[in-house]
Amino acid sequence: MVTRSEASPDLREENGLAGAYLAVALTALFGGVTIGLFQALEHAGLNLYPALVPVIRSYYHGLTVHGVLNVLVFTTFFICGFLPFLTARALERPLASRALAWVTFWLMLGGLVLAAVPLMGNAASVMFTFYPPLKAHWAFYVGLTLVVAGTWLVTLNLALTLRAWRAGSPGVRTPLAAFMAMVTFTMWTIASLGIAAEMLFLLIPWSLGWLAGTDALLARALFWFTGHPIVYFWLLAAYASWYTLVPRQAGGKLFSDPLARTSFILFMVLSTPLGFHHQYTDPGIHEGWKLVHAFLTFAVFFPSLLTFFNVVASLESGARARGGRGWVAWFGKLPWGDPSLAAQVLAMLLFVFGGVGGLINASYNLNLVVHNTAWIPGHLHLTVGTAVTLSFMGITYWLVPYLRGRGLWSRGLALAQVWLWFGGMTIFSHAQHNLGVLGAPRRTMLGAAPYLRPEWQRDLLMTGIGGSILFVSAMLYFLNIVLTLVASRVPAPEMPRFAEALSGPDHAPVVLDRWQPWLLVAVVLIVIAYGPSLTRLVATTPLTTPGFRVW
């Protein structure tokens, strides 16, 4: 395992690249979370949207910007910056092609700007899932497609880098962080074929007027082909930090390197063939195939359970090394004064509830109770909104100071921020889950709904309170980051070193370092799970649905 404490000077270019991606990611997050405040307040009965005109024209315009900026832009740009950065450190070598890396960045930024024009101009208020027949301006679809194409170039660059490294290090196990980055991008590249097909064959020609109509069901099936595994694209970047850096930040060692590799391989194989769990209520897909996807969803729960076990055991090794005792009490001995560590452990804690909720969503019959209710935003704010976002914030608490060459402006402020996120999200997500069970719909301007029920009132208020706390937390975060960039006088920190493993990579069977067998299994599973349904949908699609602009 590579345990290197400082960047060799020749990785400065990789630092710059990571910094560029981070700048875009954090700008998106700033916009996204700011609008989140208005969503939450609207639910609590305080509609401030009229004051936002003409920047944000309606609740639904705001909700779309909130979703797109947070879950599509922030996550993607963060990951494309962070994982290549980690790979270069783990392999102790530059990316195979820096020129390609910069071309990729500019391509993605160009795509983002293209998509942002209609998005901000209220010409693409179609939510982050952009289901047709809602019809956005073509630039929105083309822009997002360019961003996706950019991510494929990141995959290419990582693969070339790994190949160059392997040529110079025959017989050596791929360092864990580089392995995880490569698995994440490989999984994502396979998974993103669905959205690419939806864009290229349905949405782009339709929005340009080349196709008269569209097909909502086929589009949704292609969307969720990507839309489910994209959540693991986000999650695995956080997992990479939990596995390769957090154990050492906690003062301990990674419990098992082979188990960590097993978990990632399982994600590569199992992430994609289960998107129908978002479409249990869609007509036109056979129940039998939906059930297959339900079972496969239970299967992909397993690598997260492996992660739970492995990460908790690693944290425990750190806490015990720091004098922790008892079965549970050791937890208090973690270095809670380190905001980077605290953020990520709190993210893990809330993720337990996000995971349990996910299992409820995946259970075919229970899904009928929660589908399209506020329960789902309750779930997604624990997962992508906390497990991922709070972890990414925790990562930036060392990454931004490291890249800037100045220490974090205030640790105390960062700790307050992290706990406020934890508390605010606990209140917010609990209220959203409750509302869902009580039948409140998601994606609805509830303050204007004539069917508002009295028993929703308490949880609507709690949504507003939780959301406001989250907003305060986010603003403290940005304040600290900006002050770190411009005003900090604290000496620059080192990058946290990669964790050693109690059971190291040499204990892993060689097959875990091979790619072909796993890729083959992944493709076969996808063909089985999606082949028949997609073939039938494509063969029978009438492409007759007209587009709507309902906003």
Contact residues: ligand HAS, CB under 6 A: 129, 231, 234-235, 277-278, 297, 300-301, 304-305, 307-308, 311-312, 331, 345, 348-349, 351-352, 355, 358-359, 361-362, 367, 371, 376, 379-380, 383-384, 388
Q: At closest approach, how far in Å is the CB of 349 from Cu ion?
A: 22
- Quick one: 359 or 520, whose CB is closer to Cu ion? 359
Which residue type does 541 have?
A: T
- Quick one: 25 or 231, whose CB is closer to Cu ion? 231
Burial of 510 (0-12, 13-18, 19+ CB in 10 A): exposed
Q: Residues 246, 387, 267, 70: is their CA dihedral positive or negative?
A: negative
Give which of Cu ion, ligand HAS, none residue 87 binds (C-beta under 5 to 8 Å, depending on kind): none
- Quick one: 143 or 354, whose CB is closer to ligand HAS? 354
- Quick one: 414 or 529, whose CB is closer to Cu ion? 529
- Quick one: 89 or 333, whose CB is closer to ligand HAS? 333
- Quick one: 64 or 468, whose CB is closer to ligand HAS? 64
Give which of Cu ion, ligand HAS, none residue 139 binds (C-beta under 5 to 8 Å, depending on kind): none
Q: How many CA atoms lie within 13 A of 131 on its CB side?
A: 10
Give which of ligand HAS, Cu ion, none residue 527 binds (C-beta under 5 to 8 Å, depending on kind): none
- Quick one: 296 or 393, whose CB is closer to Cu ion? 296
Which residue type does 409 have?
A: W
Q: At closest approach, how far in Å is the CB of 352 from ligand HAS?
A: 5
Q: At closest approach, how far in Å is the CB of 218 from ligand HAS?
A: 17
Q: At closest approach, how far in Å is the CB of 275 from ligand HAS?
A: 10
Binding residues for Cu ion, per CB under 5 A? 228
- d(CA 459, CA 361) in angstroms, rounded, equals 20
Q: At closest approach, how far in Å is the CB of 231 from Cu ion?
A: 6
- Quick one: 350 or 362, whose CB is closer to Cu ion? 362
Q: At closest approach, how far in Å is the CB of 313 from ligand HAS?
A: 10
Q: At closest approach, how far in Å is the CB of 35 from ligand HAS?
A: 16
- d(CA 172, CA 176) in angstroms, rounded, equals 11
Residues 55/473, Cβ–Cβ less than 8 Å: no
Q: At closest approach, how far in Å is the CB of 274 from Cu ion?
A: 7
Residues 500/243, Cβ–Cβ less than 8 Å: no
- d(CA 315, CA 304) in angstroms, rounded, equals 16
Give which of ligand HAS, Cu ion, none residue 253 binds (C-beta under 5 to 8 Å, depending on kind): none
> Of 260, 131, 292, which Cα lies nearest the Cα of 206?
131
Q: At closest approach, how far in Å is the CB of 297 from Cu ion?
A: 7
- Quick one: 122 or 297, whose CB is closer to ligand HAS? 297
Of the chain, the end-to-end C-alpha distance in Å amounts to: 54
Provide the token pair at 499.
């964790």
Give which of Cu ion, ligand HAS, none residue 426 binds (C-beta under 5 to 8 Å, depending on kind): none
Give which of Cu ion, ligand HAS, none residue 398 binds (C-beta under 5 to 8 Å, depending on kind): none
Give which of Cu ion, ligand HAS, none residue 519 binds (C-beta under 5 to 8 Å, depending on kind): none
Give which of Cu ion, ligand HAS, none residue 311 binds (C-beta under 5 to 8 Å, depending on kind): ligand HAS
CA-CA distances (angstroms) from residue 444 to 60, 62, 282, 373, 466? 8, 12, 20, 9, 18
- d(CA 488, CA 507) in angstroms, rounded, equals 44
Please name the residues in contact with 539: beta carbons below 8 A apart, sequence gap of 6 or more: none
- d(CA 312, CA 21) in angstroms, rounded, equals 30
- Quick one: 371 or 549, whose CB is closer to ligand HAS? 371
Residues 362/390, Cβ–Cβ less than 8 Å: no
Provide the token pair at 351.
């993720």
- Enumerate the H helices of 274-334 as residue ranges: 287-321
CA-CA distances (angstroms) from residue 494 to 1, 26, 90, 400, 412? 18, 22, 15, 11, 19
Give which of ligand HAS, Cu ion, none residue 308 binds (C-beta under 5 to 8 Å, depending on kind): ligand HAS
Give which of ligand HAS, Cu ion, none residue 380 binds (C-beta under 5 to 8 Å, depending on kind): ligand HAS
